[in-house]
Amino acid sequence: MNPISTATANTGTLQVPGASLYYEVRGAGPLVVLVGAPMDADSFAAAADLLASDYTVVTTDPRGIHRSPVDDRERDSTPEMRADDLARILTHLDAGPAAVFGSSGGAVSALALVQAHPELVHTVVAHEPPLDELLDDREELRVKTDDIIDAHLSGDVVGAWRKFLALANIHLPEEVFQQMFAGERDAQTEADEYFQHAHMLRPTTRWCPDVAALRSVTTRVLVGLGEESDGQLCDRTSRALAAELGIEPTLFPGGHIGFAEDPASFAPRLRAVLREG
């Protein structure tokens, strides 16, 4: 059960090239950014509430998702673009340097941010980044990713999600799958899912980190991994990145979205990890 919200979120929008970014700010203290892709600010709200007792916590909708509209919905959202968006938010708030926790595609955005603007980030936790290009079976993964995209664009949305979960090696009970992906969808959910598959999935999973740059920056770089993600695709990619960086993964409670499923366990762990630095 998610905890009851106790922190007040101040909302704002920031105009950036090609988009209007929605963001929320909670609490007071050192700056922490929680970011996903395609997950929006709502996905991190419960964890942000818990962290806001001793941090200034920033969450945001990535460009093209929910409350962050883009000028051209046929243009891809790349990690470099999302990293520039984050840099502009951090500069706008003028409260850094920040600790950045990025999950899934948001972890890729966070790594791209560190490569481009290490001065803005003192600690980055890249939690389960889907960096398929680090794996030996990258060519097979590209084909399967293209198949997911083709299925969604052809109108087979349910089939696309089945293919997505199969590729991620995430197994859901059929009743849970039906509830999450096969029921009636509101217009915003449909638009966000289309944008994710059409314009975020391919550029995110095919992004290649500059390992030499990440090893040379003064930013503390950690690779986060869910304790329940064993055997999943993002378990493999996370361990591959950690090996390239010469570090051990930093374990967090839960699985790929443990921050949303059990924020009461996730927030203390993230707080402890940040204090270790």
For residue range 65-77, list pLDDT tens digits in order. 999 999 999 999 9
| pLDDT category of residue 4 using cuts at 50, 70 and 90 | very low
What 3-state DSSP class applies to 271? helix
Average pLDDT over the chain, rounded to whole?
95
| pLDDT category of residue 96 using cuts at 50, 70 and 90 | confident
Q: Residue 68, CB half-sphere, CA atoms under 13 Å: how many?
A: 32
Q: Identify the pLDDT of residue 6.
A: 53
Q: Is 8 exposed, middle or buried (0-12, 13-18, 19+ CB in 10 A)?
A: exposed
CA distance 168 to 236: 10
| pLDDT category of residue 2 using cuts at 50, 70 and 90 | very low
Alpha-carbon dihedral sign for residues 142, 143, 146, 147: negative
CA distance 21 to 156: 30
CA distance 254 to 266: 8
> What's the whole-number mean pLDDT along residues 186-194?
95
| pLDDT category of residue 7 using cuts at 50, 70 and 90 | confident
> What's the whole-number mean pLDDT along residues 11-17?
98
Q: Contact, 237 vs 134, CB < 8 A?
A: yes
Please give the full DSSP string across 136-201, using - where no structure is assigned.
Answer: TTHHHHHHHHHHHHHHHHTT-HHHHHHHHHHHHT----HHHHIIIIIS---HHHHHHHHHIIIIIH
The tokens for 63 are: 């460009």
| pLDDT category of residue 104 using cuts at 50, 70 and 90 | very high
Q: Identify the pLDDT of residue 182.
A: 84
Listed range (17-21, 54-58, 176-180) with the worst mean pLDDT: 176-180
What is the tens place of the pLDDT at every residue in 210-219?
999 999 999 9
Question: Which fold is adopted by the domain 10-136+207-276?
Answer: Rossmann fold (3.40.50)
Q: Identify the pLDDT of residue 1.
A: 34
CA distance 70 to 274: 33
Domain chopping of the chain, boundaries: 10-136+207-276
Please name the amino acid found at residue 30: P
Give percent above pLDDT 90 in the chain. 93
CA distance 228 to 206: 25
Phi, psi angles (nearest 5°) of residue 97:
-65, 160
The residues that bridge with 220 in the sheet, in sequence order, are 123
Q: Identify the pLDDT of residue 270.
A: 98
| pLDDT category of residue 179 using cuts at 50, 70 and 90 | confident
Give percent above pLDDT 70 in the chain. 98
Question: Which residue in 71, 74, 84, 73 sits closest to 60, CA to CA?
Answer: 84
CA distance 92 to 246: 34
Phi, psi angles (nearest 5°) of residue 167:
-65, -40
Q: Contact, 259 vs 233, CB < 8 A?
A: no
Q: Identify the pLDDT of residue 5.
A: 44
Alpha-carbon distances, residue 170 vs 119, 123, 230, 235, 267 (angstroms)? 36, 29, 10, 11, 23
> What's the whole-number mean pLDDT along residues 1-30?
85
